[in-house]
Amino acid sequence: MCWNASYALLLLFSTAVTWLGGLALWKLSVIDLNESKKTSLRKLCVAVSFILNLSILFFYKYFYFVTDNINFVLKAFNLKTYEPAFDIILPVGISFYIFQALSYTMDIYRQQVEVEKNFAKYALFVSFFPQLVAGPIERSKNLLVQIEGMDKLKLLNYERVRDGVLLMTWGLFQKIVIADRIAIVVNQVYDNYHSYGCVELVTAALLFSFQIYCDFGGYSNIAKGAAQVMGIQLMDNFRQPYLAENIKDFWRRWHISLTTWFTDYLYIPLGGNRKGKLKQNRNILIVFLCSGLWHGAAWTYVIWGALHGCAQILGNILGNIKKERNAALGILVRIFKTGITFGIVTVLWVFFRAETIGQAFGYFAQMLRYKRLQTFEAMGLGYADWIVLIAALFILFMIDIMHERGIRLRRELYKRNVFFRGFIYLCIVWSILLFGIYGYQYDASQFIYFQF
């Protein structure tokens, strides 16, 4: 509301529609009606809730995209184009809270959760502030159930607050020490890619993979930590995504809340993998096209989603071709597959980061042209900043490796004496204050996923 007071009405409208829809679905399930008629009315309630909410999303997020594409076709036939007489600014977090509200409608329809009759509690579920604007996209069977039991929570709990603050601190480290430092390089290179050669362009592409991971993963950790301080456990949104062995595995680890949302509410209703390989591949492609569009109203996102879908389909086909391998080579095979997967994901991130399709292909074309290697300072960071960045990325990599092996640093830290723990806490805070990218005359980088 501080940004645009009227847009709070959209959040209120989505909340009211899905809450009333849930009440209607509950009422229809208990009244005495013909089963066929009851089923039809329940489906109508779901349809109304989805149509009203998705219409809001379409208007604010995709109206210009559709209009621009229609005008492109009209121009090709020398016909008069349409120019909107109004401006639309995308409301912050609209994709996240609408999907969260719609999940409640579907969960009530499937009778997976109890109906929430208290509007204030339901409104808290939809607008819970730590994850409102950039997720994770929570489910009613997790968050709403916890809200119902909030009266049983102890107001102050040292272990809970300590764990939450540490998680928030790690999120801050990811965001302002790693992601915002990388943003300086990525913005410099992408905005002037014609001036750079293969080494600089590949470096920027690789760094963007870590920028978006630390930016979005950092936000998710801050949100999860803030909620934990208040006694709420949000779902994990990331699980070492760049250690995935294939694209399918990557999407089990990346933006988990969105992946599971599309799986539960689109992929499975389309038939999932129950109707043969051909339809399964069709369903995968539809899901990834929708995922691309969810991320942004631009063809770059559509292509990004489509290519991820094709990569997963290809991975499924190749995975069905069984090959024997020596167990001793297992670790080498895994490292190789992880490297290939990371390379594919990094290449596809170029479409995600580029502002236009032309810029994406221009970026790839520039990689093939010989250009004398410039100093790394010419990419926007000084020598000392590069050292800090490399050290921070090494820390990130080691922590992900340990988490992958089931080692939780917080648990190990808690086993140490209070003086050692205090020293480590001070070092973490000191490193953020000293090495964080922020302050006077710094053009702060917004969280990337705020725009979605």
Which residues are tagged catalytic? 295
- Contact call for residues 443 and 188 (beta carbons, < 8 A): no
Q: What is the C-alpha separation between 220 and 174, in angstroms, rounded?
A: 10
* Tokens of residue 370, six digits: 């010989």
Q: What is the C-alpha separation between 27 and 380, in angstroms, rounded?
A: 61
Which DSSP string corresponds to 215-264?
Answer: HHHHHHHHHHHHHHHTT--PPP--S-GGG-SSHHHHHHHSSHHHHHHHII
Q: What is the C-alpha separation between 216 and 211, in angstroms, rounded?
A: 8
- Contact call for residues 400 and 342 (beta carbons, < 8 A): no
Determine what percent of the chain falls in helix, strand and coil, rounding each to the nearest 5: 75, 0, 25
Region of residue 93 (left: phi > 0; alpha: psi -120 to 50; beta: else)? left
Q: What is the C-alpha separation between 220 and 98, in angstroms, rounded?
A: 18
